[in-house]
Amino acid sequence: MEESYKRLLTGNKKWSAEKLKQDPDFFRNLTLGQNPEYLWIGCSDSRVPANEITDTKSGQMFVHRNIANMVVHTDMNLLSVLYYAVDVLHVKHIIVCGHYGCSGIIAAMENKDNGFVNNWLRNIKEVYEKHITELEAISDIKSRENRLVELNIHEQVHNLAKTRIVQQAWKKRQLQIHGWVYGFNNGLITDLNVMMDEISDLEPIFRYDL
Ligand code: CO
């Protein structure tokens, strides 16, 4: 068996040498710390590499990825990343970026047993049920999938706004939450225009008296 993992190490050597050639201080500057303006919440899908598709460099974006770019309020990993990005790094923008053709979304629309992953996909099924009238009025299955991708992103933007972390930040400063969708057809990101930047954007029942 060819040891395919070795090409990652070879690739890293090549990348490191190129960076040093462009800027001899590149790595020295990274040791000084990070000051990213953005928190990216994206899908784990290998075809949606956050820095690559946004043409951003090391140090510019704090990144969290999971299956179908979900914001689950009991997910300690997501909450820790969110807390650190908002309260310590003071990011100005949180971007939930989903993508068309998302396997997580497609799987959640089916009844197939996906073993342990059922627990995660369950959250997407809840989004489906919430918008069932709109979704089932779309007869073309591909179009229905695409719409659920968009509705799911919108829902995750709201889920961020429902956290104390975000609401606390809104009391003190500007923080925008954006919902974006990426397409493999042309490599472009579309802004879904579902931006939230103040507590009045959120349904009253989810607002905390802070
Ligand atoms: Co995906």
pLDDT by residue (tens digit) across 20-57?
999 999 999 999 999 999 999 999 999 999 999 999 99
Catalytic residues: 43, 45, 47, 99, 102
Domain containing 5: what range?
1-33
pLDDT confidence band for 1 (50 / 70 / 90) = low
* Cβ contacts of 160 within 8 Å, gap of 6 or more: 41, 71, 82, 94, 96, 166, 177, 196
Same domain, 19 and 56: no
Is residue 57 within 8 Å of 38, Cβ to Cβ?
no
22 CA from centroid of ligand 1 (Å):
34
- The predicted model gives 139-155 an average pLDDT of 98
Same domain, 99 and 125: yes
Task: Look at residue 10 and tell me whether its pLDDT is greater than 80.
Answer: yes
pLDDT of residue 78: 98
Residue with tokens 């990213």: 36
Same domain, 125 and 28: no
Q: Alpha-carbon distance 73 to 70, whole Å?
A: 9
Beta-bridged to residue 195, according to DSSP, are none
